[in-house]
Amino acid sequence: MIGNLDATLHAPARLQIAALLGRVEEAEFATIRDIIEVSDSVLSKHLSALGEAGYVSLRKAALDGRQRTWASLTRAGRKAFAAHIATLQAFAASVQATVIE
Amino acid sequence: MNRKDAVAALADVRETQAKLAGRARWPFHRHAMFGMAEGLIVAGLAQPNSLAVAMIVIAMVLLIVCVAADRRRDGMFVSGWQPGATRPLTIGITLFVLAMAAASAMSRDVEHAGVLGYVFGALTAVVCTGASLRWEKIYRNDLLGKSEE
């Protein structure tokens, strides 16, 4: 066992959402969907799961006269993402070590 | 999770950030508006009170317009203060603007204070516009995992 993998971030789409939100202040639902390349319903499900874990904050705001959902990574989300990435990197490094050996 | 999964997950993260890098392009006028807002604040500090207030209010409106336009155009907002390779430049820009603001404010009592304020303001606008353009490049390279030359 290398470090602790976060069960909430284990799903590839959720990890990608966290990777995106970790590098912006806030992103709109359609922008996240286009970058992650998932359907509306799948994104909605993953954002809800991340929100329930306290990793993502969601708010509704009008844009061009329509209500849109905006998502941002919370402090807890950033911390969990950083820890998860560190664990993944430890795994990957062990792969390289094995290859070198 | 096995080792192969970990490598694949990290590749997914890199791919996501590379896609974000592809969208992380702001038009020149966006950088110029930021530079102008900073320059107005600095120049305003050397002007008579009523003019100073008007210039600072215009600067604030410009910054609000910048953020709103970013959200509308890009469907996202990227803060200058976010963690990463851009942070040292953000700190540098802030320190430079604070130094220019202090110089402008201190020049209020000298002769031709207004003109001096506009000189400080113009210098701030040019430097901040250039720094903002540089910030964008560093941000994109950081997302792509490239180091700065």
Asked if residue B130 is part of any domain, the answer here is: yes
On whether residue B10 sits in a domain, the answer given is yes
Which residues, in sequence order, are CB contacts of B90 under 8 Å at separation 6+?
B80, B81, B135
The alpha carbon of residue A14 is apart from the nearest alpha carbon of chain B, in Å, by: 10
Q: Which residues of chain B have pLDDT under 50?
A: 149
Q: How far apart are CA B51 and CA B61, in angstroms?
A: 15
Nearest to B82 among A20, A25, A31 (CB): A25
Which A positions 31-70 lie with beta carbon below 8 A of chain B? Answer: 31, 35-36, 63-64
- The chain B residue lying nearest A18, using CA atoms, is B13
Share of chain A above pLDDT 90, in %: 78
Q: B7 vs A95: CB contact, 8 Å cut-off?
A: yes
In a domain, B149, yes or no: no
Partner-chain residue, chosen from B1, B7, B17, that has the shortest CB–CB distance to A23: B17
pLDDT at A95: 52
With vertex at residue B22, the alpha carbon angle to CA A69 and CA A17, rounded to the nearest 5 degrees, is 40
Mean pLDDT of A60-80: 92
3-state helix, strand, coil in chain B (%, to 5): 80, 0, 20
- Judged by a CB distance cut-off of 8 A, whether residue A21 touches chain B is no
Q: How many domains does chain B have?
A: 1
pLDDT at residue B122, as a whole number: 98
Query: What is the C-alpha to C-alpha distance for residues B121 and B139, in angstroms, rounded to an integer?
Result: 26
Q: Among B100, B135, B131, which Cα is nearest to B117's?
A: B100
Residue B51 within any structural domain of the chain: yes
Instruction: Answer yes or no: is B91 within a domain.
Output: yes
Confidence of residue A3 (pLDDT cuts 50, 70, 90): low
pLDDT tens column, A11-42: 999 999 999 999 999 999 999 999 999 999 99
What pLDDT is recorded for position B113? 83
Task: Give dist(CA B38, CA B22) in Å, integer.
Answer: 27
| pLDDT for the residue A96 | 56
Residue with tokens 């795994």: A91
Q: Is the pLDDT of residue A100 over 70?
A: no
- Contact list in B for residue A91 (CB cut-off 8 A) is 1, 3, 5-7
- pTM for this structure? 0.90
Domains along chain A with CATH numbers: 12-100 (1.10.10.10)
In a domain, B12, yes or no: yes
**Domain ranges, residue B50:** 3-143
Above 90 in pLDDT, residue A2? Answer: no
